[in-house]
């Protein structure tokens, strides 16, 4: 039985870094990645609004980078939830990358993704 993919979007000012970290996260989850597929990154809040409204497949997860302030993360969540009220959200604590580096980000994301309640559209 195949799983329906869960689409993930990221909000990161450095798209290459977002792709790298999400790729490392999904690789680290092995077969337990819940069918998650990273489909887009938005580098700005304005771009996020466009991405959320134009994707053919609605994302089930939003990850906000630690590059953003808490206020910017709140704005990103508001934008995403305005169009996708059931989207699961992970906000990486601002400054975590500076304090703990990639290993700290990956550790945080692994715990957060495993605890995330993702809407299952197949129910």
Helix or strand (DSSP H, E) at 37: strand 36-42
Domains, in order of start, for the chain? 6-115 (3.40.50.2300)
Q: How far apart are CA 121 and CA 76, in angstroms?
A: 23
Residues in CB range of 123: below 8 A, 6 or more apart: none
First to last CA, the chain: 15
The average pLDDT across 85-113 equals 91
pTM (two decimals): 0.84
pLDDT of 119 strictly over 50: no
32-62 pLDDT per residue, tens: 667 888 999 999 999 999 999 898 888 999 9
Strands 36-42 and 88-91: what pairing?
A: unpaired
């Amino acid at each position: 039985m195949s799983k329906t993919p869960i689409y993930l979007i990221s909000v990161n000012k450095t798209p290459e870094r977002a792709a790298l970290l999400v790729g490392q996260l999904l690789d680290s989850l092995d077969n337990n990645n819940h069918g998650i597929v990273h489909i887009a990154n938005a580098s700005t809040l304005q771009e996020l609004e466009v991405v959320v409204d134009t994707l053919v497949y609605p994302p089930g997860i939003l990850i906000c980078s630690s590059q953003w302030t808490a206020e910017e993360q709140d704005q990103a969540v508001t934008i995403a939830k305005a169009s996708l009220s059931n989207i699961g959200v992970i906000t990486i604590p601002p400054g975590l990358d500076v304090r703990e580096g990639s290993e700290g980000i990956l550790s945080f994301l692994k715990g957060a993704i495993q605890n995330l309640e993702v809407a299952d559209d197949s129910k």
